[in-house]
Amino acid sequence: MSFRGKDMLVWSINNYLGMANHPEVRKADANAAAEYGLSLPMGARMMSGNTNLHEKLESELSSFVQKEDTILLNYGYQGCMSAIDALVDRNDVVIYDSESHACIVDGVRMHQGKRFVFPHNDIEKLKVQLERATKLVAETNGGIMVVTEGVFGMAGDQGLLKEIAELKKSYEFRLFVDDAHGIGTLGATGAGAGEEQGVQDEIDIYFGTFAKAFASIGGFISGDENVIEFLRYNMRSQIFAKSLPMPIVVGNLKRLELFRNDLGFKERLWTITIALQSGLREKGFNIGVTNSCVTPVFFEGGTFEAANIIVDMRENHDIFCSMVVYPVVPKGVIMLRLIPTAAHTLEDVQYTLDVFDLVKKRLANGEYNKEKIDFSLAAK
C-alpha cells in the first residue's frame, strides 16, 4: 500500500488469499467493467435485476459451501442484518453470542420477539438460554435461532460450532453462522469454520462476505432451498434495492474459480500465518487465543501509547497496522491486529517480527508514554 507517498508493508487488510492484486482478477474486473459498465443490471433482483451470471454465482457458491441454495447480498453487513430480520418473527427467540459482529447485533435489534445473549463461546450459558427459550416458544409456537460467528474477527478465536451443533441433539433450534473471516481461509476446501470443525452440515444459515478472502464487495447467504427461497421474497434489504452490478458478479466468479481450483492460495496464507504466529509466540508476545489467521498482539498501555506505537511503526519502519483500544478491549490493553495474507512473504514476516521486538523495548522504556500523539517519533 502507498500511504502519504511511501510504500508500506500492510497488515491491516483482509486480503487473505491475495486476490486483490492478482493479475487475473484485475483483468476479469476490468473486462467486466468494459463490457457491462457499473450500471447493469438496472433493477432489483425480483424486478429486472436478475441475470444468468447472478444465478451462476449463486450456484457456484452453493456448491463451494456445500449448501442447497444461495442468495447474493448487496453488502454483507446490510444483508446479514436483514436476513436475521426476515428469518424470525415475534413468536421466535434469537440467542446470540455476546461478541457478535455489529451486523448481527443490529439484526437482533430489529427482531420483535425475545432475544437472549450468551457470554462469548460459553456453552453452559448457551444451554441455560436454550432452556429458557424452549419454554417460551412452547407457548408462542415459535422457533429458536442461535446466531454466532465462524471466526471472531477481533481476537481470532473460532466460534464453538461443533459444541453448539452438538446441542441440537437436546434442543430444537436453527444455527446461523456469520463466517466472514472463515470463508476461504478455513476448512479442507476453504468452505470455512464449519468445514474446519466437521459440522458444515449443521449450519442451517451460512453467511459469507465478499469483502475479505474474495477482496471484493457484497456477500451471500446459503442454506436449504426452502429457506433461501423464503429469503428471496422476504429480505427487505434485497427486494427493495438494486442488485449487484455485473463487474462485481463476474469478478467474484473469477475469484471463486481461482481459489477453488488452486488450494495453493490457502496454503500460502497459512504458511505466512503460521510463520507470523509462531514467530510472535517464540519471541514472547501474547497473541491470545486465536485459532484462525486473525493475529492479535496484546500489549499493556493506554490509547496514546497505542497511537505512538502506530506512528513509530508507520513513519520509521514503513509498517501499517491497525490498533484496537478501549472500549473494544479493556482499559490498559492495546491490541495490534495483524491480518496475514497469501500476498505477504516470509521476509515480510521476519522484518515485522524484528520491528515488533523493537517496539516492545521502546514501550517498556516508556518512550511511547506521552500525553498526545508524538509525531516527533517520526524523526527518530
Ligand X SMILES: Cc1ncc(COP(=O)(O)O)c(C=O)c1O
Site for ligand X, rule CB under 6 A: 75-77, 80, 101, 103, 149, 153, 178, 180, 209, 211, 219
Q: Which of 116, 193, 206, 188 shows the shortest CA–CA distance to 161?
A: 193
Distance CA 4, CA 209 (A): 29
Give bridge partners of residue 169 from the DSSP assignment: none
Q: Which residue is nearest to ligand X (CB)?
A: 76
Least distance to ligand X, CB of residue 180, Å: 3
- Give the Cα separation of 373 and 314 in Å (integer): 13
Q: Looking at beta carbons only, is 178 or 195 nearer to ligand X? A: 178
Pick 80 or 147: Cβ nearer ligand X = 80
- Starting at the edge strand that comes first in sequence, how are the strands of the sheet with 93-97 ordered? 69-73, 219-223, 205-209, 174-178, 144-149, 93-97, 114-118
* Residue 153 or 296 having the CB closest to ligand X: 153
Q: Which is nearer to ligand X, 149 or 374 (CB)?
A: 149
Closest approach of Cβ 278 to ligand X, in Å?
25
Q: How far is the CB of 146 from ligand X (least distance, A)?
A: 16
Q: For residue 120, which of 144, 142, 94, 96 has the smallest C-alpha distance?
A: 96
Nearer to ligand X, 82 or 308 (CB): 82
Q: Considering beta carbons, is residue 53 or 211 the nearer one to ligand X?
A: 211
Q: For 318-380, what is the HEC assignment?
A: CEECEEECCCCCCCCEEEEEECCCCCCCHHHHHHHHHHHHHHHHHHHCCCCCCCCCCHHHHHC
> Cβ of residue 305: shortest distance to ligand X, in angstroms?
26
How far, in Å, CA of 238 to CA of 216, rounded? 18
**Rounded distance, CA 4 to CA 35, Å?**
34
How far is 159 from 148, CA to CA, in rounded Å?
7
Q: Which lies closer to ligand X via its Cβ, residue 76 or residue 142? A: 76
Q: How many CB atoms lie within 10 A of CB 113?
A: 17
To the nearest whole angstrom, how small is the minimum distance from the Cβ of residue 47 to ligand X? 23
For residue 13, the minimal CB distance to ligand X (Å) is 11
CB of 218 to ligand X, least distance (A): 7
